[in-house]
Each structure stands twice: as C-alpha cells, then as structure tokens.
Chain A
Amino acid sequence: MAILELNGVTKTFGGLTAVGDVSFKVDEGSVVGLIGPNGAGKTTVFNLITGNYVPNAGSILFEGRELSGMATNKIVSSGIARTFQTIRLFQKMSVVENVLAGCHCRMKAGIFSAMLRTPSQRREELEALQLAMRELSFVGLAHQAENLAANLSYGNQRLLEIARALATGPKLLILDEPAGGMNPQETDQLVALIGRLKERGITVLLIEHDMSLVMRACEELVVLEYGIKIAEGKPDAVKADPRVIEAYLGTD
C-alpha cells in the first residue's frame, strides 16, 4: 500500500520548471531513493512534500490525505519528518536540545502549565528527555548529548538531524543527501542505520548522489532529470536504463 503518492506535481520558479508533472508512489515500509543529476529538482520535491513550497499543480497524498496547502508543522505532526541537504541544526544548542525540538509536536504543555510546573508538565518533560536520549542512542550519539551541535563532525551532524527527525515520531522519513560529507566508513554505518529504520517500520524516502549507497540501501528508485521523471523501478533495472546512464554521464 502506498503511504505517499504524488500525482502530476508541478512547481515552477518564474520561467523555470523545477518539477514538471512528476508522479510516483512510496509503499509503506519500503526504502525509496530519489536520484538524478544536480539541479534535477529532487530537493524541490522534498520541499513540496513538507509544505515548504506549494505545488502549482498536482496532488500529494499522505495516507490518502491531501498535503498541499497544509502548514509544514502540521505535516510533520501528521507523520512526515525530514532532514536538510544543507545541515540545519541549532548550532549553538546542545545535541540533546536539538533532539528535543523534534519532541515538541508530541508534547502538550503550554504557558500556564509551565509556569505552575504541574505534575503532568514535569512528567512530560522527563519523558521527552528520555525519548531524546533513546533517539540519540539509536543513531549512536548518546555520548555526545551535552556537546554543542556545532562541535560535532559533519557526519555526526547528519546523524543528529536524523535523531531530531525521529523524535517527531514519523511514519515517513525523508532524507536529503544523508551521506553528503560522510567518509566511506560513516556511509557504511548510515546504510546499516537505514536498515534499522526499516526494521522499526519507518518508511524512508531519500535523495542521494552516491550511487553505491543508493544501490545498497534502496528497494525502489525514482530518477529525475530537469524536473521530469525519466525512470523508476528496481535499482538494477534503473542502473541499466540507457536514459539514466545518459543523464548521469551527460553531467558528470
């Protein structure tokens, strides 16, 4: 069953069609890769899914519900979490505080319960901290909890973004170039992490340049070029597709 479904989604910036009439489905529990040369419109597709951009045409359905027009924070609390291609952590805050940002949408306490420090508010705070630490330990960063985000290595910052996204309790996790800036060893660990996400029942949609990672981690691929979908299917079939080969050889 499809958890996410894009139908004829188009997004233009002035005269430029960044995404043109793109349709694809992401099955629940699967790991899908969105690939294509630089400037193909991959990040724009992510921004459309998370409500950062509103499509000019087409529909985006998550669990059968229309997303376009919904505020980003509502989309996140309905179960889609993301990471950013250019890392967007709260650099001056500690690692655990970054993850607590993700916990926010699963918490309730407002101004008054915080001022009165009610028992339920205190319990909620403690549970959020516990959840944050669990997600940090899931990505292997629990020992860095009190460090400042800015002091983490590039690869660890990518993992921290994943932990923050996981703290929102997503059903679908979308990762924009998660291996960007990682060394081969870190990339191997990332592939293992994606496997463990799948075991947790989280559907993963990821953008990646590194073809070897894509081939190892993904079950399905969707290929974009100049905003148009040029291929989709199993990694091996996609890899052998002449249009895909041409798209990649043409730009690299």
Chain B
Amino acid sequence: MMTRKRGLAVIGIILFATFPLWMKYVRPDDARYWVDVINNVGLYAILALSLTVILCDAGMYNMGHAAFYAVGAYTGAILNTQLGVPILLALPVAGITAGIFSAIIARPVIHLRGDYLLIVTVGVGEILRIALINDVFGITGGPNGIFGIARPELFGFKIKRPDHFFYLIWGFAALTLFLFNRLKQSRFGRALDYLREDAVAAEGSGINTDRYRLLAFLLGATWAGMTGSLFAAKMTIISPESFSFWESVVIFMIVILGGSGNMAGVLLGTFIVIALPEVFRDFASARMLIFGLAMMVMMVFRTQGLLPPKPRKFILPKLAEEGD
C-alpha cells in the first residue's frame, strides 16, 4: 500500500514539475497565462506556509501578513533599482529586514489575546500601506511604486519567461516545505505547539514562551519578506496596492481553509483559493459568490479545514523493562 501511495506521489510530482513543458501542447494558446497562474499559486503557497508558523504553530492571529511581504518586496526593489544589487542576492536581506520589522512590531503586542492581536496587525498593515502611498520614507515611489526591477539571474541564466519563474518560485516553495517540515520535527516546532496548546503549562515546563512567540513572528515575517522579493523580481514593478488588507485576508483564508497547520492542506488551500477562481473565470462575478458561500459552508461543517494536522509520530528508543 505504502509503495503504491509513494509511487502515485512521485508521478504527481513529475507531472507537476513538467507542467510548463506539457502545458504548451495542452493549451497552446494560453499556456503562458496558466503557467503564470500556477506561479501565483506558488507565491501564495510560500506566503501561506510562512503565515502558518505564526498563526497555526504559535497560535497568534496575524491578519497583517501582507505588511511583511511588502517590506520584503520594497527592500528587494530598492536594493536592486537604487544600488544595483541583483534581486536574488537582495532576497535574504529583504527577508531579514522584514524579520526585524516584525520583531519591532511584535515585541510590545505579543502578549495580546488573539482578537486584540488581530486588530493590531490589521492596523500595522494599513499604516504601512498608507505610508507607502504617501512615500513617507522618500524612496518608495509613492502610489506609483517602484519600476524597472531587473530580471533575476541564476548562474548566468536570465530568468524572464513565466516557465523560468515557475522553476524559481516552485523551487523556493519546495525548499520552504523541506525546511519547515524539518522545523516541525524539532525542538523549535514542538515548543510552538506547546505554547499554543497551553502557554502556562509550556512556561511551567521550562519553555521561554515570550522568546518563541517572537521567534515565530520573526521566522514567518522573514519568509514573507523573501517571498516579497521574488514577487518584485517576477513583476519588475511593485506598488502599494499589491499589499492591501485583502492580501492579508486571502493568505489568512488559505491557511484556515487548508487545515490550520498541515502543509499539504496549505498547498491544497492555495490551489483552491488562487487557481480555482481562474478555472471558473467564465462565471465571471458569480464565481466569488459561489466561493464565498463554499467557504461559509465549510467553516460550519468542517471547522478543522480540509486537511487538519496529524499528531506527531516518534520512533521510540527501546528501553530495559519498565520500572514497576
């Protein structure tokens, strides 16, 4: 059974990894468009995975994730257009900048109860967006944003077509899945679970809950910041409207719909929220209505999301006979 499941997974991954190649034959007219849709899915999937760390693992209601995405995108864009730093080199810097930004915000509000924290993060997202529109920092280009971001290059290869970006974005998504999965199975991942389940018991078991709340924010925001840089590279132009409150809501929705912390669920949720509306484009305005209704029905009948997280398994070391 297991090998059959694994075989199916391998076939699925191969099919997906060759998507831009076979799509050219399946839909010769609009293959580029569909590859671009899947690229957007990839960006949202990484964003949703990064929000998962804050929202599901540490249990902190962050409805302003687009703010960290924006900080990363703008940092990457400014480094590239003003200082000529290649965008992929600027990517880690953008991540760290977003991480520092999140830590400054999170530090004073980390003790707030869920709903209060949610309102603070909404506020932060809006303040940042308005500051960008008004060009408060003098280097973000106001409502027009920043354009002329250079195409990224990887080992001398210029990434410019959607099928090129497919491999860049989904490569980063795969790396994210790989690393986050390792984190989940570690002291760090467990600490977040303990603190979410019962912060008093976690602290009483010797876990520095403040530190881990902050680290969760820092990690989630850093990842969103790096994704922002990828987005800037893909678009070559960014403006404040790409980072509206609605973006934060969409990312939040993906995570909750997908299954609150299960990574496969997050991927599934991203496809449903980002790609499915494109498939039903012919229904035009009705599609959002249907989609909204489907969300509501689901939140009533399957509150745990499509694929809820599974309990951790441990390979137990063998011990000598039990004490008594």
Q: Do A and B come from one complex?
A: yes
Which residues of A are in contact with B by a Cβ distance under 8 Å?
Answer: 50, 52, 71-74, 76-77, 81-82, 84, 88-94, 96-97, 100-102, 104-105, 107, 109-111, 114-115, 117, 121, 124-126, 128-130, 133-134, 137-140, 142-143, 145-146, 148, 164-165, 168, 189, 192
Q: How far is the CB of A221 from chain B (nearest CB, A)?
A: 25
Q: Is the interface of B mostly helix, strand, loop or mixed?
A: helix
A133 in contact with B205 (CB, 8 Å): no
Which chain B residue shows the least CB distance to A90? Answer: B197
Number of interface residues, chain B, beta carbon within 8 A: 37
Task: Please give, as numbers and ranges, the residues of chain B lying within 8 Å of A128 by CB-CB distance.
Answer: 187
A88 touches B316 (CB 8 A): no
Q: A93-B193, A115-B183, A126-B317 are in contact. List 17 more A-B contacts (CB 8 A).
A: A76-B203, A76-B206, A77-B206, A88-B198, A93-B197, A93-B312, A100-B190, A101-B194, A114-B187, A115-B179, A115-B182, A125-B186, A129-B316, A130-B317, A138-B323, A165-B205, A168-B206
Q: Which residues of A contact B203 (CB under 8 A)?
A: 71-73, 76
Query: Can you list 10 A-B contacts with CB-CB less than 8 angstroms, sorted by A residue number?
Result: A73-B207, A88-B200, A90-B197, A96-B316, A114-B185, A114-B187, A130-B319, A134-B319, A140-B324, A142-B319
Cβ distance B100 to chain A, nearest Cβ, rounded Å? 15
Q: A88-B198, A92-B197, A121-B186 are in contact. Are A97 and B312 (CB under 8 A)?
A: yes
Q: B206 contacts which of A102, A115, A139 (Cβ < 8 Å)?
A: A102
Are B314 and A88 in contact, CB atoms less than 8 angstroms apart?
no
Complex Cα–Cα for A229 and B132 (A) = 62
- Please name the residue on chain A nearest to B190 by beta carbon: A100
Chain B residues closer than 8 Å to A107, beta-carbon distance: 187
Residues of B within 8 A of A73 (CB): 203, 206-209
Alpha-carbon separation in the docked complex, A168 to B204 (Å): 10
Give the complex CA separation of A53 and B73 in angstroms.
44
Residue pair A117, B209 in contact (C-beta under 8 Å):
no
Distance between A90 CB and nearest chain B CB, rounded to angstroms: 5
Say whether A76 contacts B205, CB under 8 Å.
yes
In the complex, which of the residues B198, B205, B324 contacts A104, with contact meaning CB atoms closer than 8 Å? Answer: B205
Bound-state CA distance A197–B139 (Å) is 65
Residue contact A97 to B314, C-beta cutoff 8 Å: yes
Instruction: Tell me the complex Cα distance, A59–B223, Å.
Output: 45
Residues of A within 8 A of B323 (CB): 137-140, 142
B238 CB within 8 Å of chain A: no
A133 touches B190 (CB 8 A): no
